[in-house]
Amino acid sequence: MTDRIEKTTIKKLYLRLIPLLFVMTFVNYLDRINIGFAQLEMGEQLKIDPAAFGFAGSIFFLGYMVLEVPSNLVLHRVGARRWIARILLTWGVVSALTAFVFDDTSLYVMRFLLGVMEAGFLPGVAVYVAQWFPVRHRARAVGGYIIGSSVAAVVGGPLSTALMTYADDLLRLAGWQWMFLLEGGAAVVLGLCALRWMTDKPADARWLDSRQRAWLETTLEGERGDQTRVPVRRVVGDSRVWSLAILFGCALVGIYGLLLWLPQIIKSLGDLSTLQVGFLSAIPPLLGVLGTFVVSRSSDRTGDRKKHLAFVYGMSAVAIAASAYVPNPVLAYSLLCVTGLFIYAGNPLFWSLASSFRTGAAGAATVALINTIAQFGGLVGPWSIGLVRDATGSFRLALLTIAVFLVVATVLALLMRVRGKDGSTPTSKLEHGELPA
């Protein structure tokens, strides 16, 4: 009887919550990366040079880092339903208003505000899922919504450039303006849906019957009782935390740098339309989904994380550096696709390793600290590429800059100490992909 109640309860939870969280994550990632496609036309119209665009891409992460922890503290006070809805509504408004920027300064302001308003969304959703799904069902639940970021990376290019192409000059607004308005407006609609569709805690879930609510509350309460308090200084003083954070920060230089600049890089390879650039931009992240599946299975089969992590970042470094030097544009694009195949495959390996250092409350603190520190990659990546592109007039040295950071990530992965000073080792039972990158 208990097994049947568990099965029907988890099915209801999944069907009720995960589709909405998936769409939220999709729109979240879309509103992060659509500036890269807008720049194909916005840059020329508003006279925004590469260095200014790179800074605009990076300043988002400053607001995001500063407000991430405070946002999660507020979520615990007011409840996930209202706070996640607030995040969606405010970031949607800011994203939509980006349609009316008129120079580089106004773009800086809107991107910084977008980071401020969006801060805490992904950690907040992770907390919300933990409030509803028992540990043994949580990996599937997180995987069900976090894949929305990968789908956004694949679909974002064709969708955004199609809006820019076919809505251009509608009501005297440029295509890139319509893109911001419509994609930002989607977040506003989702915020309203969150208020109506989300429920704060299982006790309030009238869409579960009494037996299902009782089983869920008892199971979750039992798991919370197993957690112990761990001094913060022990987490902060763990050298593995810092080496892993710096490692992933270096990788994020490449990941975010490539995501935001890929449309411009592809555009530089030939005489391509905005729509063609959008479709070509979808291939590298699509191959990244394939690479994630293959590399993760290999890592699970062998039990190795470090060497696999070093392999994917090392191959990414080689491929992106080679793309800077080959004279043939088709071959250069092919090497960018190879970069995408490997660079995105490191995310589940990284988070599997990060989340396995400690468990319970210490594990949550470890992951939060690593994630916050690693965001320096978002600050450095887009801006440094813009500065190099502006100074040299080409993407060659910019691509080599990404390669250097990926080499550093490779070396750190190989040298990283996995066993803690207390003799602790990563557990093999943790699932891949429980936390977003």
pLDDT tens digits, residue range 279-335?
Answer: 999 999 999 888 888 887 888 788 788 889 999 999 999 999 999 999 999 999 999
DSSP labels, 346-395: HHHHHHHHHHTS--HHHHHHHHHHHHHHHTHHHHHHHHHHHHHHHHHSSS
User: Residue 64: which CATH number?
Assistant: 1.20.1250.20
Distance (Å, whole) CA 192 – CA 265: 37
Among the residue ranges 24-33, 158-167, 328-337, 353-362, the one predicted with the least confidence is: 353-362
Do 196 and 136 fall into the same domain?
yes
Q: Rounded to an integer, what distance in angstroms lies between the CA atom of residue 391 and that of residue 395?
A: 10
Beta bridge partners of 173: 170
Q: Is the pLDDT of residue 158 over 90?
A: yes
Average pLDDT over residues 140-157: 85
**Rounded to 10 degrees, what is the CA torsion of 141, 145, 151, 157?**
-170
Tell me the helices (H) and strands (E) count for the chain, helix number first. Answer: 17, 0
Burial of 19 (C-beta count, 10 Å sphere; 0-12/13-18/19+):
middle
The token duo for 196 is 């109506």
173 φ, ψ (degrees, to nearest 5): -110, 145
Give the separation between CA 138 and CA 24, rounded to whole angstroms.
18
Tell me, yes or no, whether 402 and 313 share the same domain: yes
Chain length of the chain:
437
- Considering only 15-19, 299-303, 363-367, which range has the smallest mean pLDDT? 363-367
What pLDDT shows up at residue 17? 93
pLDDT in tens, 167-196: 999 999 999 999 999 999 999 999 999 999
Whether residue 422 is contained in a domain is answered as no
Rank 87-101, 137-151, 247-261 by mean pLDDT and report only the highest.
87-101
Q: Is the predicted pLDDT of residue 266 greater than 50, yes or no?
A: yes
**Number of structural domains found in the chain:** 2
- Residue 93 tokens read as 């408004």
In whole angstroms, give the CA distance from residue 364 to residue 47. 44
Residue 378 domain boundaries? 230-417
Q: How confident is the model at residue 199 (pLDDT cuts 50, 70, 90)?
A: very high
Regarding whether 234 and 202 lie in a shared domain, the answer is no
DSSP 8-state assignment for residue 172: T
Specify the long-range contacts of residues 266-270, CB closer than 8 Å, at least 24 apart: 266/333, 266/336, 267/40, 268/394, 268/395, 269/329, 269/332, 269/333, 270/329
Its pTM stands at 0.82
Residues 49 and 172 in one domain: yes
Both 71 and 48 in one domain: the answer is yes
Residues 170 and 248 in one domain: no
Confidence of residue 423 (pLDDT cuts 50, 70, 90): very low
Same domain, 354 and 396: yes
In a domain? residue 236: yes
